[in-house]
Amino acid sequence: MVKVLFVCTGNICRSPIAEETFRQHVKARNLQREIQCDSAATHGYHIGELPDHRTRRNAESHGLKLIHRCRKLTGEDFSVFDYIVGMDHYNMENIQSISYRAIGINQPEEVCFLYRKYDPEARDNKVEVPDPYYGEERDFELVYEIVNRSAEAFLEFIIKEHHLA
């Protein structure tokens, strides 16, 4: 079983939509028994809450239902998940800090990376999934478009890397 954890600051905007979008791509390829995903926050601002209402509304407009409850990234996650996927550089710094405090090492790039690494439309200076929290509805749609493109390419990588058919 390949396990993927999507991480953002509060686990209420970017990482829950990334998680569910990726899950739908996995389901479309009938790989639910081989690939599992979850999401988490680097900060505990919203523990136990549903995703932001704007994220849920955007997800619903694409036929997705977000029922995930916010949780914080833990030291145990580094031994459970094969890939820990951050949304921006700030998240990556916090992921590495949590990793170092929990297990005494920084995670290698093969395990811990920015999600837009797999976005075919990403440019060198646009490698982050932007945080829509202080934005408008169109910002939530942009996040959906980015994570949807990234999900497809990341899933292809996992299929090849882990010899899944």
pLDDT digits (tens, 9 = 90+) for 99-144: 999 988 889 999 999 999 999 999 877 799 999 999 999 999 999 9
Integer angstrom CA distances of residue 48 from 11, 100, 102: 10, 25, 22
Q: Are 56 and 13 in contact (CB under 8 A)?
A: no
Catalytic residues: 8, 14, 131
**Mean pLDDT throughout 55-65?**
97
CATH number, domain with residue 137: 3.40.50.2300
> What span, in angstroms and rounded, lies between the C-alpha atoms of 165 and 123?
30
pLDDT digits (tens, 9 = 90+) for 75-94: 999 999 999 999 999 999 99
Q: How much is the pLDDT for 157?
A: 97
> What pTM did the predictor assign?
0.96
User: Tokens at residue 6, please?
Assistant: 């999507």
Domain count for the chain: 1
Range of the domain at 127: 2-161
Integer angstrom CA distances of residue 64 from 24, 95, 139, 164: 8, 27, 17, 25
